Amino acid sequence: MTNEQAMARAIELALRGTGQVSPNPRVGCVLLKDGRIIGEGWHQKFGAPHAEREAITNATEDVAGATAVVTLEPCSHTGKQPSCADLLIERNISHVIIGMQDANPLVSGNGIARLRAAGIDVTVGVLGEECAWLDRTHTKTITTKMPYIISKTGQSLDGCIASHSLESQWITSQGSRQVVHALRAEFDAVMIGKTTALVDNPALTVRHVEGRQPWRIVLDTSLELPPTLQLFTDEFTTKTIVICGNTAATSPNARLLRESGIQVLGCDTDSHGILILRNTFREMLQDYGIASIMVEGGSQLLSSLLQENLIDEYHFFIAPIILGGGKQVFGNFLPTLALAPKLRVVSSEKCGEDWYVVAVAG
């Protein structure tokens, strides 16, 4: 087995932690002896043992002299778990192959230095880009203290998310909608604006695929949404967060929502009464461990996020339909070409009848 093949396997293992480890990174580890796998492990749950310890625990042979292939730099600090670099040194691992350096300032470079100081051979950067993608949300949160924000739009070829009469069910095909459910299970929260909640009355649940239910966040500055919405009445009300202005957060409506197990959070507003989302996002990470938020619309919310430069990653599901004069995905605020965000396409593929394009902020 080559180093790349072993790293690809470590990435596969790391992915099993999806939805379980956030805001920690997804990490996988493979132990090799004479090119054979003798142990595998992954970080399974937030606060639980790290991938390297799992792989050593699961090893079927003595690990002394083995090569550890790990997607992320082994940690050098003591957090909820003891240091993985120290564990690898103690167990006489002879070579450590790392996908990417940990962005966590408590670790970054120190894990590698500690391994090298103990005489261990260290190789960094095998499938580095793939490993960086795997842990992009951890990298963002640990360095900026802000969650990673993803926009998801089901849209027409001419960039509309609804017809002029606000019909949006359904623009994209069943295949695309299934991918969306898988995405919901991947990220920590799904967010929508007030109009989308009102017009679509979405459940924002994970259906058609296995996966855990993410938080559901809805913005409603004055708490005017009807209490009969699915988000407020179904079996996941304890996974619903309503963001409103600070005044509304102490109103009788807020109390009623809280009585149903819903979280109601007050947010600062600007001089126009618009919620200052940057602060709210920071709180989401700090107080709820929400490291990634997928915003599913509508155009007003997406526009303000774009304007505030808050979107890290874009998922476009583009259906072969023209809605001329419909609701534009990102509104109409961008006055000049110079202000247009430049994106880098990460992947594009056919999804049923639709095209599925993933792009990141350039």
Instruction: Tell me the closest approach of the beta carbon of residue 352 to ligand AOF, in angstroms.
Output: 35
Residue 74, preceding peptide bond in cis (omega within 30° of 0): no
Is the sign of the CA dihedral 305, 308, 312, 315 positive or negative? positive
- The CB-of-50 to Zn ion minimum distance in angstroms stands at 3
Stated as kind and residue range, the H or E segment containing 117 is helix 110-117
Q: Which listed residue (102, 200, 312, 354) binds ligand AOF by CB under 6 A? A: 102
3-class SS of residue 162: strand
The answer to whether residue 93 forms part of the interface with ligand AOF (CB under 6 A) is no
Is 145 one of the binding residues for ligand AOF (CB under 6 A)? Answer: no
Q: Can you tell me the distance from the alpha carbon of 124 to that of 191, in angstroms, rounded to the nearest whole number?
A: 37
Give the active site residue among 40, 52, 73, 296: 52
Window of 102-110, 222-230, 238-246, 344-352 that interacts with ligand AOF by CB under 6 A: 102-110
Contact call for residues 225 and 251 (beta carbons, < 8 A):
no
Kindly state the tokens that stand for 148.
Answer: 């990673």
Q: Which helix (H) or strand (E) holds 28?
A: strand 28-33
C-beta closer to ligand AOF: residue 134 or 284: 134
To the query of whether residue 52 is one of the catalytic residues in this protein, the response is yes
Q: Cα separation of 81 and 73, whole Å?
A: 15
- 27/18 Cα distance (integer angstroms): 10
Among positions 103-122, residues that touch ligand AOF (CB under 6 A) are 104, 107
CB nearer to ligand AOF: pick between 5 and 81 = 81
For the beta carbon of residue 316, count every other beta carbon within 10 angstroms: 20
Tell me how far, at minimum, the Cβ of 265 lies from ligand AOF, in Å.
25
Applying CB under 5 A, the residues found at the interface with Zn ion are 50, 75, 84
Q: What does the alpha-carbon distance between residue 215 and residue 281 come to, in Å, rounded to a whole number? A: 13
CB atoms within 10 A of CB 309: 10
The option from ligand AOF, Zn ion, none interacting with 20 (CB < 5 to 8 A, set by class) reads none
Q: Among residues 29 and 277, whose Cβ is nearest to Zn ion?
A: 29
Nearer to ligand AOF among residue 284 and residue 291 (C-beta):
291
Nearer to Zn ion, 67 or 83 (CB): 83
63 scored as a contact of ligand AOF (CB under 6 A): no
Amino acid 206 reads: V
Q: Does position 134 bind ligand AOF by CB under 6 A?
A: no
Residue 84 binding ligand AOF, by CB under 6 A: yes
| Under 8 Å between Cβ of 210 and 356 | no
Active site residues: 52
Binding positions for ligand AOF, rule: CB under 6 A: 24-25, 27, 43, 50-52, 72, 74-75, 79-81, 84, 102, 104, 107, 142
